[in-house]
Structure 1
């Protein structure tokens, strides 16, 4: 299913964090949000999975305003892995993942064979099938991340919303997660700090800066040295990855970008705000 965000304005803790954002996550594509800390990525995602209510603008799911759906209807379509991981569940790994089936169950209804199959498959997808009886509280940060991702998979959503899903994962599990997202071809809206991971896994990127979408397009078109300098304040060059051919960003770790910290012009004047436009 397609997600479309129209002229979104979101305030959080008394200040405007997202201002006039518009973007599209196309059906079956992986759409990435990248930008510096504080640029509004997590706030924007929170409006998609209905944790925050926008001041203005809409989030549309296949043309329907998500706010018009009941919580149960929304949960059947959209599953989220937020940065806030919640409290320590006094549950087993399997019980946590089985929570993903809640939108499909009537009150006090038990599991059926279909639920058990979905949960088993979700655990296998994240490599946690051998840990079903362990307590969630006993897990490492990376293991918890994988279990919560399995819970999202168990919802069988049309849309996945993932906020920094590679946090706490070692390199092997980062690679496995990104491969799993590519193979799934489910509509996915994901924020990533790792620009090389974003360039590898995402079909399209939207760059946020100070609450505005300042560039949009395929990774190779968006991740240009000029944008990296102006938005992220780093010197970098972009080459082809020797193994995959994806864009590979090589950063200069010895010095910041020339002119780093210079404010951006009005959104769209320099980088081209809005879907379908990118820095050239």
Structure 2
């Protein structure tokens, strides 16, 4: 299902932090949000999963304005993995993942076969099936991240919204998670700090800077040395990855953009 953000503006504490932002993730597409800290990435994503309400603009799910849907209807269509993960759950891993089935259950309804299959499949996909009986609070940061992603997958949404999902993951699990997202072919909005990961996994990139959209397009078209200097203040060359052919950003770690050598 296509998701689009149109002319979005968000104010926090009386200050406009996002202004006139337009984003798109087409059906089955992974669209990445990149930009420096404070650029508005998380704020935009919070409006998509309805943690924040915009003061202007709208979010369209297909042709439907998200605000016209009930909370339950929205939760059946959009699952989120936000940056703020919540506290330690005194629940098992399986119980945490089963929370993703809540939008499909009536109050106090027992788990059915569809729920059990969705939970088991989600745990298997993130490589945490063998940890199902462990306490969530006893997991490492990377393990918790994978469990919370499994909870989002168990929700069986049409759209995934992920805010820095590779945080706390080692290199192997970062690669596994991003590969999983590509294999899912589920419409996804994802904020990433790692520009090379974004170039590899995303079909489309949206670059935010100062709460405004600066550029959108294919990673190869967007991630240019000039843009990297303007937005991130770094010197870099963009070359072809020797293994995949994706754009690969080689940063100059000895100087910053505009500085004398």
Fold match by TM threshold 0.5: yes
**2:36 match:** 36
- 1:259: how far off? 6.4
Aligned twin of 1:268:
none
* Match of residue 81 from structure 1: 81
Structure 2 equivalent of residue 105 of structure 1: 105
Q: Indicate whether 1:155 and 2:181 are aligned.
A: no
2:256 alignment counterpart: 256
Aligned to 2:7: 7
CA shift for structure 1 position 87 = 1.5
* Shift in alpha-carbon separation, 1:6–1:94, aligned structure 2, 3 A: same
Where does the alignment leave 5 or more consecutive residues of structure 1 unmatched?
Answer: 261-280
Deviations 1:164-210 (A, max 9, x none): 00000000000000100111100000000000000000000000000
User: Per the alignment, in what secondary structure is the counterpart of residue 206 of structure 2?
Assistant: strand
Q: Is 1:221 aligned with 2:218?
A: no
Q: Distance in 1 between matches of 2:227 and 2:189?
A: 21
Once residues 225 and 259 of structure 2 are traced to their aligned partners in structure 1, the CA distance between those partners, rounded to angstroms, is 13
TM-score for the superposition, normalised by structure 2: 0.98
State the partner residue of 1:245.
Answer: 245
Q: Counterparts of 1:248 and 1:140 in 2: how far apart (Å)?
A: 30
RMSD: 1.0
Cα separation, 2, equivalents of 1:114 and 1:64: 27
2:138 equivalent to 1:138: yes
> Which residue of structure 1 lines up, in the alignment, with residue 47 of structure 2?
47
For residue 112 of structure 1, report the CA deviation from its aligned partner.
0.8
CA distance in structure 2 between the partners assigned to 1:237 and 1:189 by the alignment: 26
Instruction: Count residues in correspondence.
Output: 260
**Structure 2 unmatched ranges of 5 or more:** none
Deviates more, 1:6-15 or 1:187-196: 6-15
Residue in 2 that maps onto 1:271: none
